[in-house]
Structure 1
Amino acid sequence: MGSILGRKVNFPEVLEDFADETTAHGIPFVIQKPTIPQKLIWFCVLATSFVIFCVEASNLMSTFYSYHTNVELVTSESVQFPDVTICNFNKMRRTRLEKDEKWKQIIERDDFWKVTGAGDDYGWFWDDDFSVSSTGDSIKEESAFRIKREISEYYGDSSYYYYYDSNYPEWINEPELPENLGPDNILSITRYLIPTKEELTKFGHQAEDLIRKCSFNGRPCNHSHFDVSQNKQYGNCFTFNSSGIAGGKISKVGEKFGLHLTLFIENPEYVGLLTEESGVRMAIHPRNSFPFPEDIGISLAPGFVTSIGLRQVEIKRLPFPHGECTDGKGFDHVQGENYIYSVISCQKKCFLNNLNKSCGCVDDIYKDFQNTAQCSHNNSKCQQFVQRRFHNNGLECHCPVPCHEFIYNTKISSAVWPSEMYQYHLHNELNVTDNDNIDVNLWKDIAVTRKNLVRVKIYFEELNYQLVEQIKTYSLATMLSAFGGLLGLFLGFSLITVFEVFVLVVNIVEIAVMKLLDEGTIYRVM
Structure 2
Amino acid sequence: MDKRIVSIKLNTTTEPKLIKVAPIPKKGLAVEKNVRFKNLRLYLAEYCDATTIHGMKYIGERGRHLLERLAWTITLAFLFTFCLLLIRQAYIKWESSPVIVTFATKETSISKIPFPAVTLCPEAKFDPEIFNFTRTFKRKQRGEMLTMLPNFDPLGITSIKWLGDEIDLGKDLMLSYTPDGVCYTFNMMPYEEMVRYNDSSNATLDSGNKTNKWSLQDGYPSDDSTTDIYPRRSFIPGFDGGLVIRSIFTNNSHIDYLCEESLRGFKVALHHPCEFPNMDKHFRLPLDQAVLVAIKPSMITVSSELLNYSPSVRKCYFPHEKYLANYKLYTQQNCLDECFANYTFHHCDCIPFYFSVLNESLSVCGPGSNECVKKSKLKYMKIEGNSESDNQQCGCLPSCTSLSYEVETSQSEWRWEKSFEALDPPQLSHLNPKEMHFSKLKIYYKELQFLSCERNERYGMIDFFSNMGGLLGLFIGFSVTSAIEILYFCTLRIICNIKKYGKKSWSGKPNVVK
Q: Deviations over 1:287-334 (max 9, x none)?
A: 433322x21122212222222222333344787687534446545669
Report Cα offsets for 1:469-523 as digits up to 9, x if no partner.
455455543443332222233333322433454678899xxxxxxxxxxxxx9xx
- For the pair shown, the structure with the greater C-alpha radius of gyration is 2
> Equivalent residue for 1:260?
244
How far apart, CA to CA, are the structure 1 residues paired with 2:413 and 2:326? 39
- Stretch of structure 1 that moved more, 347-356 or 74-83: 74-83
- Seen in structure 2, the aligned counterparts of structure 1 residues 456 and 46 have a Cα distance that, compared at 3 Å, is same
Matched to 1:231, the amino acid is T
**Match of 2:315, as an amino acid?**
E
* Deviation for aligned residue 1:455: 1.5
Distance in 2 (CA, whole Å) between partners of 1:267 and 1:17 is 102
Alignment of 1:324 with 2:357, yes or no, is no
Q: Does 1:83 align with 2:117?
A: yes
Calculate the TM-score normalised by the size of structure 1: 0.61
Name the structure 1 match of 2:164. 218
Within 5 Å, give how 1:447-526 maps onto structure 2: 447-450=434-437, 453-469=438-454, 472-501=457-486
Which residue does 2:175 correspond to in 1? 228
- The corresponding residue for 1:336 is 327
Residue in 2 that maps onto 1:281 = 267
CA contact (8 A) 1:19 1:31 kept: yes
Please state how far the C-alpha of 1:220 moved relative to its aligned partner: 1.4
Contact map agreement 2:99 2:455 (CA 8 A) in 1: no
Q: CA 1:267 to 1:97, structure 2 compared with 1: closer, same or farther past 3 Å?
A: same
User: Which residue is equivalent to 1:404?
Assistant: 401
Aligned equivalents of 1:301, 1:310: Cα separation in 2? 19
Q: 1:68 to 1:239 in 2, by over 3 A?
A: closer
Q: For structure 1, which segment, 31-40 or 486-495, has the greater mean C-alpha deviation from structure 2 after superposition?
A: 31-40
Amino acid of the residue matched to residue 449 of structure 1?
M
Q: Do 1:312 and 1:409's aligned partners in 2 also have CA atoms closer than 8 Å? A: yes
Measured after TM superposition, the shift of residue 261 of structure 1 is 0.8
Counterpart secondary structure, 2:237: coil
Q: Is the 8 A contact 1:86 1:237 kept in 2?
A: yes
Does 2:341 align with 1:352? yes
Q: How does 1:20-169 map to 2 (within 5 A)?
A: 20=46, 23-25=51-53, 40-62=70-92, 64=94, 65=98, 67=100, 69-70=102-103, 74=107, 76=109, 80=113, 81-98=115-132, 100-103=134-137
Cα gap change, 1:289 to 1:389, in 2 (>3 Å): closer
> Aligned equivalents of 1:368 and 1:10: distance in 2?
82
Structure 2: runs of 5 or more not aligned: 1-34, 190-209, 212-226, 493-502, 507-514
Q: Which is further off, 22-31 or 296-305?
A: 22-31
Q: Give the direction of change, closer, same or farther, for the CA distance of 1:447–1:66 in structure 2 (3 Å limit).
A: same
Alpha-carbon distance in structure 1 between the residues aligned to 2:318 and 2:366: 36
1:151-203 CA-to-partner distances (Å, cap 9, x unmatched) read xxxxxxxxxxxxxxxxxxxxxxxxxxxxxxxxxxxxxxxxxxxxx7x424x54
The 3-state SS of whatever aligns with 1:295 is coil
* Identity, % of aligned positions: 19
* Structure 2 counterparts to residues 299-314 of structure 1, below 5 A: 299-314=284-299
Code of the residue aligned with 2:166 in structure 1: it is P
Q: Which amino acid aligns with 1:480?
A: F
Distance 1:230 1:381, change over 3 A: closer
Structure 1 residue 419, shift from structure 2 partner: 3.0
Secondary structure of 1:50's counterpart equals helix
Residue aligned with 1:336, SS: coil
CA distance in 1, matches of 2:411, 2:421: 21
Measured in 2, the distance between the counterparts of 1:23 and 1:207 equals 85
1:250 matched residue in structure 2: 234
Corresponding position of 1:291: 277
Q: Which ranges of structure 1 fall in alignment gaps of 5 or more residues? A: 1-8, 106-129, 134-195, 433-439, 508-520
Shift of 1:30: 5.8
Deviations, residues 93-139 of structure 1 (Å, cap 9, x unaligned): 4455406444489xxxxxxxxxxxxxxxxxxxxxxxx8x89xxxxxx
Secondary structure in structure 1 of the residue aligned to 2:239: coil
- Which residue identity lines up with residue 56 of structure 1 in the other structure? L
- What secondary structure sits across from 2:410 in the alignment? strand
- The CA RMSD measured in Å over matched residues stands at 4.5
Partner secondary structure for residue 199 of structure 1: coil
After TM superposition, the structure 1 stretch with the greater mean CA deviation from structure 2, 231-240 or 317-326, is: 317-326
2:364 to 369, 374, 381: 374
